[in-house]
Amino acid sequence: MTEDNNLYKKLGVSSKKEDVHSALKSIDKGLFPGAFCKIIRDIDNRENYYSVFHSDGAGTKASLAYMYYKETGDISVFRGIVRDAMVMNLDDILCVGATGNIFFSNNLGRNTQYIKGDIVATIIEEYYDYSEELTSLGLNVMMCGGETADIGDLVKTLIVDASAFTTIKKEDVIDAYNIRPNDIIIGLASSGKATYENEYNSGIGSNGLSLARHGMLSHEYYKKYPECYDQNLDERFVFFGKYKLTDMIEQLNINIGKALLSPTRTYAPVLKDIIKKYRDEIHGIIHNTGGGQTKILNYGKGIKYIKNNLFKTPIIFKLIQKSSETQWKEMLSVFNMGDRMELICNESIAKDIFKITKKYEIPSKIIGYCEKSPIKGKNILEIKSEYGSFTYN
C-alpha cells in the first residue's frame, strides 16, 4: 500500500475534515473562539458563569467491537466503547478547564438484525456504571437518560455516541487562544496502565480506527463481515492487513482485537489536580483526537509548534504502520502516536506537573515548544521524530 499517499481519505475519512470546517465557517464560534470547546452564555443567565455543551462518540470503533464480539462471544467489549464515547466528551470539556458537575446523555443507533437486546442492555448499563466510576475518581458525573434508535436503513451495525453538559465560572476558562511563543508543550502518555485503570492500555484512543481496522485486519473479514464497511470502497482498501483479531501481541500479552479496543484513557483525575493548582499558568490544553499529533494546529494564532521529543512509539502504532504500510507523516496526522493530551504552559511549572502525573503513573515530559510563526497569523507544526522530520500547516 506504499504507493498511496493518503490511505485515510481512500477509506472515506479525513483527519482534517476540511469540508466540515468550511460548512461551519460562518457559524458562531461561541464566546471564546480560540478555546478547545465551544463556550456559550450561562443557561440560567448567571453573570459569573458560562455553559458548555459537547457531543462525541466511539466512531467506527463500535463496528470493531461488533466484529470482536462475533468472533469471540466477549460482550464486555461493548463496555469499552461506552467509555470511549464518554471520555471523548469528558476530556474535551476538561481542556477548557471545566471540572464541575457534568451531565451525560447517551445516543445509540442500531441495526436490530445485528445488535440484539443483550448488547443494548450492556451498553446502557455501562453508561451508568462508568458514571459512578468517574464520580469516585473526583468528577461528579450524572447520567440523564438517552435515546436508542432502531435505524437499520441508516446504520449497518451500531453507533455509540454521547452528549455532555456542564457550566464553568468565567474566571476559570482556559482559552487556547492564549498560547504564546516561548511556551513549552508537555505531553501525557496514552499507553501503559494508570493507577485508576484495570488493565494495560495500548494507547489507541478513539481516532484513526478506520485506518487501524482496515490496515491491520486480514482480508478474510471482507466476505465475513460485509456489514462492517462501506460497500462503495475499493476492495483493495478493505481489510487489507496481516492479522486476525485473535492473533496475540507477545510484547503486550493481549490480542490484536483487544489492543485496538483498549478503552480511551481519561485524564480526568490528573487534569483535575493540575488545573486546581495551575489553572492560571496553563495557556492551553489540547486533546489529540481528530488530527492526531497535528491537532494543535487548530489552536493559538501565529505559532510555530516544534515537537522534537515525542514519546517512544507504542507497539500498537508500529504494528498499524507496518501492516498497512502507511507513511509515517500520515500516521502522525491520524493517530496520537503515544501522547493524547498536551499542556501548553511556561516551563517554570513543568516539574510540578511531572510530580502530579507520576502520582497516577502516567508518564509525562516536555515534547516540544512554541515559537513565533514565520508566517503572520498562521500556525505551523514541525515534528522531528525518529522516522524523519515533517512539516504541517
Looking at residue 4, what is its pLDDT? 46
- Residue 18 pLDDT greater than 60, yes or no: yes
- What is the average per-residue pLDDT within 353-367? 98
Cα Rg, the chain, nearest whole Å: 20
- What is the average per-residue pLDDT within 88-99? 97
Q: Would you give the DSSP letter of residue 186?
A: E
- How far from chain centre, in Å, is Cα 296? 13
Residue among 261, 127, 265 nearest 196 (CA): 265
Cα–Cα distance, 350 to 352 (Å, whole number): 5
Q: Where do the H-state alpha helices sit in the chain?
A: 7-10, 18-23, 61-72, 77-94, 117-136, 209-216, 220-224, 256-260, 268-278, 315-324, 328-334, 350-359
Query: In this predicted model, what pLDDT tens digit does every residue of 295-326 receive, in sequence order?
Result: 999 999 999 999 999 999 999 999 999 999 99
Looking at residue 123, what is its pLDDT? 98
- Residue 21 pLDDT greater than 60, yes or no: no
Beta bridge partners of 148: 108
Query: In this predicted model, what pLDDT tens digit does every residue of 209-259 receive, in sequence order?
Result: 999 999 999 999 999 999 999 999 999 999 999 999 999 999 999 999 999
Looking at residue 26, what is its pLDDT? 62
- The overall average pLDDT reported for the chain is 94
- What is the average per-residue pLDDT within 322-343? 97
Domain boundaries, given as residue ranges, for the chain: 7-392
Residue among 6, 12, 61, 15 nearest 258 (CA): 61
- What is the average per-residue pLDDT within 17-28? 64
Local confidence band at 10 (pLDDT 50, 70, 90 cut-offs): confident
Local confidence band at 24 (pLDDT 50, 70, 90 cut-offs): low
Query: What backbone phi and psi angles, to 5 degrees, belong to 273?
Result: -65, -45
- What is the average per-residue pLDDT within 107-115? 97
Looking at residue 7, what is its pLDDT? 72
Cα–Cα distance, 192 to 61 (Å, whole number): 20
Cα–Cα distance, 374 to 239 (Å, whole number): 42
List the grid coordinates of 390. 515533517
Looking at residue 19, what is its pLDDT? 65
Residue among 186, 188, 187, 191 nearest 314 (CA): 191
Query: In this predicted model, what pLDDT tens digit does every residue of 31-51 receive, in sequence order?
Result: 999 999 999 999 999 999 999
Cα–Cα distance, 289 to 119 (Å, whole number): 27
Looking at residue 94, what is its pLDDT? 98
Beta bridge partners of 282: 345
Query: In this predicted model, what pLDDT tens digit does every residue of 135-160 receive, in sequence order?
Result: 999 999 999 999 999 999 999 999 99
Q: Which architecture characterizes domain 7-392 according to CATH?
A: Alpha-Beta Complex (3.90)
